[in-house]
Structure 1
C-alpha cells in the first residue's frame, strides 16, 4: 500500500512511503527503530523495549506492518495472536478464557519522530485489518 506523508520533521512535505507486511528479515530494522525512538523519549525508562529475539518471534508468528521510505523503516505496528496465554488483553477485558483465541493484541505502534503527525498509527492498523487471521473477532489495546 502506497501513502504520501504530508509532514516530515513537522514541516509540509510530499514523501511517498510504502506499507507492507513484514517478516523475520525485518527484525533488525524493527529493533533499531524501537531503540532509536525510545532513546529520544523524555522518559525512556517508561517504555519497556522488546528484545531482538521477541521481535523476531513476533515477525514470524504474528501480524506486523512496516512503513518504509525505500529501505528505511520509519514506523511499524505489531498485532499479536496470544491465544489462551495470560498475555492476551482479552483477559483484562473480562472475556471468557475459551474465547481468548478469537482475540488479538494491538501490541506496539512505533513511529519515528520525523514522521509523526501523519496519522500513521491509525493507517498501520487499517492496513493490518484485512490481513488479520480468520476467526479473530476482537482486538485489545492498552
Structure 2
C-alpha cells in the first residue's frame, strides 16, 4: 500500500510539477511576476531603488507583458503601469525621473528568467547623463519549480 501511494505521489509530482516550463499556466506567470516584484520592491533586489522619487507609488513599465498579469499592489506598494510612450510624455511634461522595469519572462529548459530594475526616463528638453539606473540598476531572477501537489516557484 505504501509503495503504491509513493508511486502515485511520484507520478503526480512528475506530471504536475515537473519542470516542463513551456507548459506554464497564466497563474504560473502571474505568480512569477508577483514574486519578482516582491523581491525587487520589498526585498531590495533593485540596486537603485532608494533613488525612486516615490517608493510607495511605483511607476512600472512592462510593455511586453500582458497588463492583466501584473498585480495592482505588492505589499504596501501601489503599481502604476505605464507604456514607454506614456513615460516619455510624463518626463517631457514633469522632468526626468526614475521608473521600474520588468522584462518579459524567458523560458529556458527547466527555468524561467526575468529581469527587474530601474532606469531614468529622460525628458527630451534636457541633456543630462546619469550614472545610476540602467544596466547597473537591474537584477536577473531565475525561477525553478518545486513542491509536491501544489507547484511552488523558487527564485
Instruction: Verify same fold: TM over 0.5.
Output: no
Structure 1 or 2: larger strand share? 1
TM-score of the superposition, structure 2-length normalised? 0.29
TM-score of the superposition, structure 1-length normalised? 0.31
